[in-house]
Amino acid sequence: MGLMPESRIDGMRDAIRNRAHKMFTTNNLSLSPTEFIDTFIDPDHINALTEVQEIVGEVGMQWASSEFYTDFGEVKELLSFSINFERRPPIILPKYVSDGPRISAPHDVRTKINQWVVERVRLGKVFGDAVDSLNWLNTNCKDTRAMRAMFPALPTLLRDVAADDKSATARLAIKLDSSKAVTNLPTLPREVRDRILDASNLVSATTLLDGVRVENEHPKGTSIFSLSTRHRPKKANMFYPDSNGAFL
């Protein structure tokens, strides 16, 4: 039995996912038509594909999918990401686009994609830690003040799920905003405490986007890359290292 009802915890888990989605949307990667073609299309095929496109007109969907290997530290994992085009791809897409960037693609563009993937994976992992933290603290803390001491962004999530400013959830958020120092905290390894705090700090950082209408504002004609989900590797849950943990 947890400190808070499961319905409230469920709501806060959804609030974390919503805040994660908003942050991810503001950090999608965009490539110019030239960068996309140089990165995904075999140079020997460009003339043929261009000629076919001139003959048949607009061909192809407004999106495609591709893959990219990334190193989590524990394991090198294959991630699938989506590519969205403003109207249509800059060129007819061969099947091999789904295999990911070409090995001989320009180094600067491959680096650009790699850096984006690594950061996107890092953020997803920390948001996953936030979900895990919420679950564990609700079960193992002696009171909500202790939860707030371990996870300072708790009032933010409570306000996200409050029905109105006068609800019990909203009143609890206000109470925890002004709570005093707590000494009866769960005993956890320093590394785990640090990860909980990092997760809380990231949730707090998303408040900078509150009230901001987030749109994919990229230069016209660009290809927009996004990872719709964050697949965490096995043993990612810091509280239960033998389990698969939660997924975002």
pLDDT tens-digit map of 189-200: 888 999 999 999
Query: At 226, is the pLDDT very low, low, confident or very high (cuts 50, 70, 90)?
Result: confident
What type of residue sits at position 117? V
More confident: 186 or 225? 186
How much is the pLDDT for 84?
Answer: 83
User: How far is the C-alpha of 154 from the C-alpha of 170, rounded, in Å?
Assistant: 11
In this predicted model, what pLDDT tens digit does every residue of 47-79 receive, in sequence order? Answer: 998 888 877 766 656 677 777 766 555 545 667
pLDDT of residue 25: 83
Per DSSP, the residues of 121-184 read HHHHHHHHHHHHHHHHHHHH-SSHHHHHHH-TTHHHHHHHH-SSTTSHHHHHHHHHHT------
Q: Give the residue-averaged pLDDT of 4-20.
A: 92
Residue 124's CB is within 10 A of a number of other CB atoms, namely 20
Q: In one letter, which amino acid is 211?
A: G
Q: Which one is predicted more confidently, 224 or 10?
A: 10
Encoded amino acid at 51, one letter:
E
pTM for the model stands at 0.81
Note the pLDDT of residue 246. 37
Evaluate if residue 1 carries a pLDDT over 70: no
Please check the confidence at residue 241 and state whether its pLDDT lies above 90: no
Q: What integer pLDDT is reported at residue 100 of this predicted model? A: 84
Mean pLDDT of all residues belonging to the chain: 82
pLDDT in tens, 34-44: 999 999 999 99
List Cβ neighbours of 227 (8 Å cut-off, separation of 6 or more). Answer: 24, 79, 80, 81, 82, 117, 120, 121, 124
CB of 206 closer than 8 Å to CB of 17? no
pLDDT tens for each residue of 97-146: 888 888 899 999 988 888 888 888 888 889 989 999 999 999 999 999 99
What SS3 state is found at 26?
A: helix
Q: Look-up: residue for tokens 């991810």?
A: 24
